[in-house]
Amino acid sequence: MGAGRFAPSPSGDLHVGNLRTALLAWLCARSTGRSFLMRVEDLDRVRPGAEERQLADLRSMGIDWDGPVVHQSERARLYDAALASLGGRGLLFECFCTRREILEAPSAPHAPPGAYPGTCRDLTEAERDERRAVRPAAVRLRAGTASFTIHDELHGSYEGVVDDFVLRRGDGAIAYNLAVVVDDAQQGVDQVVRGDDLLSSAPRQAYLATLLGATPPTYVHVPLALNSAGQRLAKRDGAVTLRELGPSAFALVTASLGLTGTTAGELLDGFSIERIPREPWVFVPPEEAPVV
């Protein structure tokens, strides 16, 4: 059997929506006999002390994991090897476009707004030399398809757009879409549970996995936690972290899933992937909840 995982970015404390997704990822993995892995996605924003607090909060929720915590910042050789493999097959090209230029460029037929229009795909070497003198190049995948279909346990068959997406940014940083695919494949992750705001990116990642010789994982994109205004829950919404909510955090999360139990292990008895709520969880801080 494979593995599930949770992969937080150490940019700040986890709020109850993040903790809910982490608990679901743990429940999905443990209920299906999988290992559960912890990976810190620290290629970009890192706030000192955030990782330690995040891991402590997860442990206090009863979430455990198998093996050591893995850090993306220590896996550069794996990402470089993947780029070399793709480049050796002619599946990469340099791109010199800014985000503004991409947004303002005419879109390809049937492509959604913001999809890469192919501006730098077929530049000559002379044109690339000229642009390199102006700005550093990002590296994009030379995609061989316009769409790809994945299977999601909650959403069923989902077909999404695949464009020539960035694998290495102009500043040299590895892009999330490459790192997550390489990591999941190398770690044996075959079940990915995460927020449904990432559903549209799954076809790109699954397609890339096939190019790298990996089998795409099974996906479970779960509904997000929202504030009372119907917006994605964030720190600005007040008391939303475990440290702010105290012991009530676990009870709030479990109640939102329709589960009962005082520990994560007790929740397994009544859990199945099919029973995961399909609607977003509207989080109401305890101090704002109506008195019954």
148 annotated as belonging to a binding site for a ligand:
no
pLDDT tens profile 13-22:
999 999 999 9
List every span in the chain annotated with CATH 3.40.50.620.
1-73+244-284
The CA-to-CA distance between both ends of the chain, in Å, stands at 46
Q: What is the mean pLDDT of residues 163-189?
A: 97
Distance CA 227, CA 282 (A): 6
3 annotated as belonging to a binding site for a ligand:
no
53 annotated as belonging to a binding site for a ligand:
no
219 annotated as belonging to a binding site for a ligand:
no
Query: 288 pLDDT band (50/70/90 cuts)?
Result: low
Distance CA 189, CA 276 (A): 21
Q: What is the mean pLDDT of residues 98-122?
A: 79
List every span in the chain annotated with CATH 3.90.800.10.
77-176
* pLDDT number for residue 99: 86
- Fold of domain 1-73+244-284: Rossmann fold (3.40.50)
Judged against a pLDDT cut of 50, whether residue 115 lies above it is answered with yes
The answer to whether residues 147 and 159 touch, using CB atoms and an 8 Å cutoff, is: yes
6 annotated as belonging to a binding site for a ligand:
yes
Mean pLDDT of the chain: 92
146 annotated as belonging to a binding site for a ligand:
no
The answer to whether residues 217 and 191 touch, using CB atoms and an 8 Å cutoff, is: yes
Catalytic residue among 47, 235, 243, 275: 235
The residues, ordered by sequence, that sit 6+ positions from 133 with a Cβ below 8 Å of its Cβ are: none
Class of domain 77-176: alpha beta
**Cβ atoms within 10 A of the Cβ of 26, count?**
26
pLDDT tens profile 195-216:
999 999 999 999 999 999 999 9
Judged against a pLDDT cut of 90, whether residue 59 lies above it is answered with yes
pLDDT tens profile 210-242:
999 999 999 999 999 999 888 988 877 777 899
Report residue 134 as tokens.
């102006």
Judged against a pLDDT cut of 60, whether residue 291 lies above it is answered with no
Q: What is the mean pLDDT of residues 137-158?
A: 97
Greater model confidence, 88 or 111:
88
pLDDT tens profile 256-265:
999 999 999 9
pLDDT tens profile 241-252:
998 988 889 999
* pLDDT number for residue 246: 87
176 annotated as belonging to a binding site for a ligand:
yes
Query: 292 pLDDT band (50/70/90 cuts)?
Result: very low
Is residue 235 annotated as a catalytic residue, yes or no? yes
Q: At what angle do helices 50-60 and 16-31 cross, to 10 degrees?
A: 60
* pLDDT number for residue 229: 86
The residues, ordered by sequence, that sit 6+ positions from 159 with a Cβ below 8 Å of its Cβ are: 147, 148, 149, 203
Owner of token pair 């903790």: 19
235 annotated as belonging to a binding site for a ligand:
yes
Q: Which of 1-5, 81-85, 103-107, 250-254 has the lowest mean pLDDT?
A: 103-107
pTM of the full predicted structure? 0.92
